[in-house]
Structures are given as structure tokens and as C-alpha cells.
Amino acid sequence: MQEKHSIVVTAINKPGVLARISSLITQRGYNIENVIGTATEDPNIYKLNFGIRGTDEQIEKIVKQLNKLIDVIKVEDISHKKNFIIREYLVIKVRATNSKRTDIFELIDVFRAKILDVSKTWITIELSGPPRKISRFIELLLPFGIQQYIRSGEIALRE
């Protein structure tokens, strides 16, 4: 079954490392659906979290190919693993006319989201949390009218 998989790559922080990883994935016929990459507590080590869609078998092959990259130290498919804290960040701009405002405030309260900016017709909100919580929040805001939003994509840390 084709499913979205979350992959965490640990690599040497060298120029071009992201290009190497991403070009290998596209070269093998897959699309990166989300990606976030940055140096870590050790400036020489780079961590990349990304999502790709495929069967377990396909993803296993991609993981093996990634492991072949000289600068890649470790690759983990964390999709089926429990011992990871996975978080995502969202900024969303929602239509908020007077009549709807309190309903939105209520949602913000329930989700412990934060207001970044308010205008006559729009509210800009930020929220971080597990990806499912983010999706749910967006879903509930949908009826109010979303002008735009951006999701960071997952980041994961071993418990």
C-alpha cells in the first residue's frame, strides 16, 4: 500500500548535501512532499526530515540508496516507530468577520494556538503540535474561509 513515510536523515553538514539527497530521491522516481533540513547541536551534522509516498518495500529501497551516499551517516524511516516526538508548525490566515470572530477565538483557545495578527477581516494564527492536530485545526477553520496557510513539515526527535 502506498503511504506517506517520514524519513529522518543524518548527514555531514557539507555544501550540497541537501541537493545530493533530494536529487537521489527524484532520480529514483519519488517526490518529496515535505522537507525541513538544518544543522544540529553539532554544526558538522545536518538533519533532514522529509516525507515521501510509497509502499514499505519501495521506501526500504530508497533508504538503502540514501545510505549509499558518502555524506549520509544514518537514515531512518520513522513512520511506524513510536519512540519519536514528531512536531509541525503552522501559520494560517483565516477570514474573521465580526459575527464569526468568537467562534474562531474559541477554537484558538481549545487548540492552544496563538494569535499573531488581527485585522478587520483576517486573523493570523500560529500553531505547533503533532501533524494530526495541525490537520484537524485546518479542517475546523476551513468553513470560515482560509486565505492562506503554510505548514513547516514534520520534525522528529527520538524520545
Partner 1 sequence: MEKEITGAKIVIDAFRNEGVDRIFGYPGGAVIPIFDELYNATDIKVILTRHEQGAVHAADGYARSTGKVGVVIVTSGPGATNTITGIATAKMDSVPLIVISGQVKTGLIGSDSFQETDMVGLTRPITKHNYLVNHIEELPHILKEAFYIARTGRPGPVAIDIPVDISVAKLKDYKYPDSVNLPGYKPVYEGNVKQIKKAADEISKAERPLLYIGGGIVMSNAHQEVRELAKRTNIPVVSTLMGLGSFESNHKLFLGMPGMHGTYAANHALMECDLLIAVGVRFDDRVTGNLKTFATKATVIHIDIDPAEIGKNVKVHIPIVGDAKKVLTKLIEYVKPRQRSNWNDNVEAWKREYPLKYNQKEKREILPQYVIDSLNGIVPEDTIIVTDVGQHQMWAAQYYKYKYPKTLLTSGGLGTMGYGLPAAIGAAIGNPDKTVILISGDGSIQMNIQELATAHLNCVNVKILIMNNAYLGMVRQWQDLFWDRRYSSTCLKRNINCPDVCDGSHKKCPEYYCPDFIKLADSYYIKGYRVENPDDVVPTLKEIVSFKGPALVEFAVHREENVFPMVPAGKSLNEILVDDWR
Closest approach of partner 1 to the CB of residue 44, in Å = 10
Closest approach of partner 1 to the CB of residue 99, in Å = 54
**CB under 8 A: which stretch of 30-38, 47-55, 67-75, 134-142 binds partner 1?**
67-75
Closest approach of partner 1 to the CB of residue 16, in Å = 7
| Cα(20)–Cα(116) distance, integer angstroms | 36
SS3 state at 150: strand
Measured CA to CA in angstroms, residue 143 lies from 95, 96, 113, 128 at distances of 9, 11, 18, 21
Q: Is 69 in the site for partner 1 (CB under 8 A)?
A: yes
Residue with cell 533508504: 63
Judged by CB under 8 A, the number of residues near partner 1 is 20
Measured CA to CA in angstroms, residue 80 lies from 26, 35, 96 at distances of 23, 19, 38
Binding mask 72-101 for partner 1 (x = CB under 8 A): xx----------------------------
- Tell me how many degrees the CA angle 117-154-68 measures, rounded to the nearest 5: 145
**CB under 8 A: which stretch of 56-64, 78-86, 111-119, 147-155 binds partner 1?**
56-64
Nearer to partner 1, 9 or 94 (CB): 9
Contact 68, 9 (CB under 8 A): no
Binding mask 4-23 for partner 1 (x = CB under 8 A): -------xx--xx--xx--x
Closest approach of partner 1 to the CB of residue 48, in Å = 13
Q: What is the phi/psi pair of residue 4, to 5°? A: -80, 135
| Cα(82)–Cα(158) distance, integer angstroms | 9
Residue ranges in contact with partner 1 by CB under 8 A: 11-12, 15-16, 19-20, 23-24, 27, 60-61, 64-65, 67-73
